[in-house]
Amino acid sequence: MRIAAFAAGLIAFAAPHADMTARAEFNLAGKTVNVTVAGGVGGGVDLYARLFVNYLRLYLPGQPNMVVQNMPGGGGLQGVQNVYNIGAKDGTSIGVTPAGPIKEPLMGNSKVNYDLRNFRWVGSMTSEDTVCLVWHTSEVKTIDDARRRDVPIAATGAASNSTLGPLLMNNLLGTRFKPISGYDGGTSMLAVERGEVDGRCVTLSSIQVGQPRWLTENLVRILFTVSKMDGVKEAAGAPYARNLLKTDAERAAYDFFGASDEIQNPYFMPPGTPDDVVNGYRAAFMKAINDPAYRQEAGARRQRIEPLDGAAVEKVIASMYATPQEVVERVKRATSLAGGK
């Protein structure tokens, strides 16, 4: 009897203590969320984000303020590393990135201060639709021309997709692209228009959103598509680079490089962000991206939306890390500035 009474007393004591230490329900009312865009003002990632966060906030508990902060350094690496290492874990820090920083931990030759597997992935907005194009006044008319002469192109950083992609094409297709890094998303487009470079390897959606007249006024020529783009009228007649490859080894390298194409403009939170916060963001992300008003406004701005939820993004990341090491090493050699087979 004494033991039973003592145990009952312990339970009575423990219950209110457990209530005191339980996490409060996730709510961002009155708070400000910092949205780190790993790209420059006016680039494709930036333009997508500035529209989307207006809808995302509506579906987050408490409807917080959301402030966009651009960190384009290193082709987006600066922004991604910032969220990973110092981002708040209470739901007030979230990032969005282009493809380069997703590829860099596995394909790059420099160390990065983050591990893709440790991010808390919220969702991805669209899929990759990369093309390599030149300005209409360029002497380069076809992919064969790009094999015969150097083709300077604007890039946003040594680890960006706009650098890595052309280097891989040089290795696999024999082109002679010369990426010039240091631009951000907006100034890289101006460099093409000003004739500072011949062109860019860039997502078609970025052109449609930021420079639609390039397409409507035939100001650029698409030499080939890096992504598979069947049925996309703007890319009609341009060869798909993968179809030009001759060996299984080349195709394996190409496919590994393109594995992350499904997760363009993914949103992520710092490691250690609690499950209830991540789940709240995931639910809000899918509701916002399927909001009819958002879809209508995104469509009016020529933004292509092909979302994946956070769990699907995690699976893509896992598949990248499961790639045979010999394939990874080939791509790393091919996309180094020194080149190599």
Nearest to 33 by CA among 286, 287, 284: 284
For residues 275, 277, 281, 283, the Cα torsion angle rounded to the nearest 10 degrees is 60
| pLDDT value at 97 more than 70 | yes
Classify 200 as helix, strand or coil. Answer: strand
Please name the residues in contact with 54: beta carbons below 8 A apart, sequence gap of 6 or more: 66
| pLDDT value at 114 more than 80 | yes
Say if 156 falls within a structural domain: yes
Position 337 confidence tier, pLDDT thresholds 50, 70, 90: low
Amino acid in position 323: T
Say if 334 falls within a structural domain: no
112/68 same-domain check: yes
Q: What is the DSSP string of 263-318?
A: -EEEEEE-TT--HHHHHHHHHHHHHHHT-HHHHHHHHHTT-----EEHHHHHHHHH
158/43 same-domain check: no
223/248 same-domain check: yes
Classify 131 as helix, strand or coil. Answer: strand
200/295 same-domain check: no
Read off the pLDDT of residues 220-240 as tens digits, 9 standing for 90 and up.
999 999 998 887 888 999 999
Query: Per-residue pLDDT averaged across 71-86, rounded?
Result: 93
120/269 same-domain check: yes
Two structure tokens written together for 258: 């393109």
Proportion of the chain above pLDDT 70, given as a percent = 91
Two structure tokens written together for 61: 């508990």
Classify 328 as helix, strand or coil. Answer: helix
- Give the domain-ending residue among 209, 243, 259: 259
Say if 42 falls within a structural domain: yes
**What pLDDT score does 210 carry?**
86
44 within 8 A of 70, measured Cβ to Cβ: no
Proportion of the chain above pLDDT 90, given as a percent = 70
CATH of residue 58:
3.40.190.150
Say if 57 falls within a structural domain: yes
Total domains in the chain come to 2
How many residues are given for the chain?
341
Nearest to 224 by CA among 260, 257, 177: 177
Q: Average pLDDT over the chain, rounded to whole?
A: 89
Task: Count the Cβ atoms, other than its own, within 10 Å of residue 320.
Answer: 20
| pLDDT value at 176 more than 70 | yes
| pLDDT value at 185 more than 80 | no
| pLDDT value at 313 more than 70 | yes
Say if 6 falls within a structural domain: no
pTM above 0.85, yes or no: no
Read off the pLDDT of residues 259-304 as tens digits, 9 standing for 90 and up.
888 899 999 999 999 999 999 999 999 999 999 999 999 999 989 8
Classify 132 as helix, strand or coil. Answer: strand
134/117 same-domain check: no
**What pLDDT score does 43 carry?**
85
**What pLDDT score does 107 carry?**
81
Say if 23 falls within a structural domain: no
Position 90 confidence tier, pLDDT thresholds 50, 70, 90: very high
- Strongest mean pLDDT among 100-109, 133-142, 197-206: 133-142
- Its domain, for residue 171, covers 130-259
The radius of gyration of the chain from alpha carbons, rounded to an integer in Å, stands at 23
For the chain, count helices (H), then strands (E).
14, 11
- Kindly provide the residue ranges of all beta strands, DSSP E only, lying in the chain, ordered along the sequence: 32-37, 65-70, 93-96, 120-126, 130-135, 151-154, 177-180, 199-203, 220-225, 264-269, 308-309
- CA-CA distance, 164 to 71, in Å (whole number)? 19
280/307 same-domain check: yes
| pLDDT value at 3 more than 70 | no
118/195 same-domain check: no
